[in-house]
Amino acid sequence: IKHGRVAMLAATGWMVQKNGLGIIPYPVGESMFSGEGAGELHTLSSDPYTAAMELPGAGWWQMFFTAGCIELWTEAQKPHYMKSGNMQALSTFDGVGFKADEKMQLKELKNGRLAMIATMAYLAHYINPGTVPLPMP
């Protein structure tokens, strides 16, 4: 379920960025402190693949470190969620107190699988246009 949630976020993020809604200005390097262009803000491309390539290395490290910490924390829980039968690995991160029953978890699992396919279709279309049968924006 947790990988499906990540895929749903990835698919949503791709659509938001592609439609130009995810343009967030951020300061870069020395320009944020002093010198020429101090306080100048930069933005990433509205194309998701190009934006990923423009993202500074520190941004990638922050994302991988955060994801790694969450993964380590969930895997260290006793009893392990695979042995206890509780497939809701991130239940402790549920801030609104939403407890999903098996029917709801099945829906989330199916939507997560669909999001994985959608994310790979977006990437395949970008790398090799025409590989996805339906036109994409």
List Cβ neighbours of 61 (8 Å cut-off, separation of 6 or more). none
pTM recorded for the entire structure: 0.66
User: What integer pLDDT is reported at residue 132 of this predicted model?
Assistant: 72
pLDDT one digit per residue (tens) for the chain, 137 residues: 778 888 898 899 888 888 888 777 776 655 455 555 556 677 777 888 888 888 878 888 998 999 899 888 877 877 766 676 655 555 555 555 566 677 887 888 899 999 999 888 888 888 887 777 666 55
118 Rama class: left (phi>0) / alpha (psi -120 to 50) / beta: alpha
List Cβ neighbours of 24 (8 Å cut-off, separation of 6 or more). 43, 44
User: What integer pLDDT is reported at residue 64 of this predicted model?
Assistant: 92
User: What integer pLDDT is reported at residue 137 of this predicted model?
Assistant: 58
